[in-house]
Amino acid sequence: MAAHDDPRAKLFHDQVHGYIKLDGLSVSLVDTPQFQRLRDLKQLGTLYYVFPGASHNRFEHSLGVGYLAGETVERFRLQQPELELTRRDSKLLSAAGLLHDLGHGPFSHVFEHQFMPLVASSNGFSYHHEDMSLKMIDYMVDENQIDLDRSDVRFIQEIIVGAKDHHVQRHARLSSRGYLYEIVANGRNCIDVDKFDYLARDMVNLFGVRKVFNFSRLWMFNRVIDNQICYHTSVNLDIYDLFQQRYQMHKSIYNHRKAKAVEFMICDAMLLADKTLGISAATQSPEDFQFLTDHIVHTIEASKDPALAESRRIIRQLRCRKLYEFVDEYLLPPHLSYAVPTVTSENIACCNVTSGVQLEPHDIIIADNRLNYNLKDQNPVDNVSFYSSNDLSTSFHIPKDQVSLLFPEKFEERVIRVYSRNPSPEIQKAILDAFRSFLRAFSTTLPPPSPSSKILPKVRRPPASIVQKSSLLSSLDIAARDAENEGESNADEPSGNASTSEEQRTTKRFRET
């Protein structure tokens, strides 16, 4: 779209996408207090306490998603005129991309997945950032007199919630255009511009890497067939790469042990300050919610209110890097992933095996995480349709084993982590032993504690006779292996076989005794 067609359009220089242009409607949405609030929400929450480069905010991510969403529709409009898309559709999809994260709270997923579920049991408040985004959109449109009628607002809201089952009913404009649901929030196979932007943006800010996976190939090599967004056969590996990169980021970055410890501390501080500051109550009113940002930590820190003394103490600990201690973690084998029930701190406290140490559930924090390819234990690529250059109107599926034999057989794993609020080494050691005792109820063979744990497991010194015997066994094992290796390297030479056999028989007799 030429610049003179829309005098209100503006150019932005984006760290990931270069120069991007937003139309006048998008600019009017950006220039509101509700959208500018996103400058005060870290995209990666507490990861900034671990990775200094993770300083980017939801503001720039939202600009990127808005740009990609609008450009996607524009490309479909120009390349597939039979879809009868309009420039108005492009503008509204761009608006949906801009506003999709409007409902995030302080430290994003900390607020949604940790803080709010804990307060919901006492005050009955429910919160999901998608629902809050819809409320914030209604509020910002009315408050700022945005040039959108109610039909357009509904259209934007539906795009944000995607193809998920939701209370927003499908708009007539979308009844025959289901593919529009797959652009911003794809509930069918999880390939959407939101994921394209945040993976690329996170890698650029964290590591200075501009290309994690080639999302531009996915973005360019797609078209609409049978009311679905389909991808060219040449990008099937890129699609698997997309989900693998997402998994790796969750495994090593988003769930970083230290960042999680910071999350638990901030969550505790907010819980203790909730009644005084009305943090959870703000979710019931968009007018109040618009002022709820990451600055809540500074509000607690600067307060002189005696009721916030404990919250301030936790923030002070955080500032001094006295974090909750990581104790241990366990990657459950596939057969136990669903057999082991949800683990609670009470479960671990009840398994205390350390005499003279009293374990309190409050001392223990459990992080029970499922890492996957974004569709629970399913392969999302099973829901992706492809097309070939020979026939642009027919879609089909490509089985995993026709792409590569090296893809995973399992698409979800469960990792249970344990942290300690209590700084006492004795308490932390007791938590480790209790956690191991709990796991033995489900598995008789356990790996040693995580190498990242600073806490050593209890080791009983064996009797001297056993130590002597073990030392002799080790010597014999080494001799046997050396002889065996020598025999393999000199397969045609019979010398030394009798000696080797005798040593192996001696080793076997020691093991049997």
Rounded CA gap, 59 and 198, in Å? 12
Length of the chain as a residue count: 513
Distance (Å, rounded) from C-alpha 147 to C-alpha 168? 21
Check if 335 is active-site. no
**Spatial distance between the Cα atoms of 230 and 164, rounded to a whole number of angstroms:** 19
Using CA atoms, how far apart are residues 346 and 362, in angstroms rounded to an integer? Answer: 9
Distance between CA atoms of 73 and 84, rounded to whole angstroms? Answer: 11
Q: Which residues pair with 222 in a beta bridge?
A: 231
Annotated catalytic residue within 129, 232, 335, 362:
129
- C-alpha Rg value of the chain to the nearest Å: 28
Dihedral angle sign, alpha carbons of residues 74, 76, 79, 84: negative
Longest dimension (CA), the chain: 95
CA gap 489, 477 in Å, rounded: 18
- Rounded Cα distance, 191 and 235, in Å: 13
**Of 35, 1, 40, the residue nearest 20 (C-alpha):** 1
Place of tokens 């005060």: 40
In one letter, which amino acid is 40? D
Alpha carbon distance 456, 433 (integer Å): 10
Ordered DSSP codes for 364-423: EEEEEEEEESSBTBS-GGGG--EEETTEEEEEE---GGGT-S-S-S--EEEEEEEEES--
Residue at token pair 């015997």: 469
The vertex-53 CA angle with 48 and 55, nearest 5°, equals: 55
DSSP assignment of 189-237, as one string?
T---HHHHHHHHHHHHHHH--S-SS-HHHHHHSEEEETTEEEEEGGGHH
- Cβ(81)–Cβ(224) below 8 Å: no
Backbone phi, psi, residue 291, to 5°:
-100, 5
Q: Which of 38, 457, 452, 61 is nearest to 261 (CA)?
A: 452
Q: Which two tokens stand for residue 497?
A: 């076989």
- The catalytic residue positions are 129
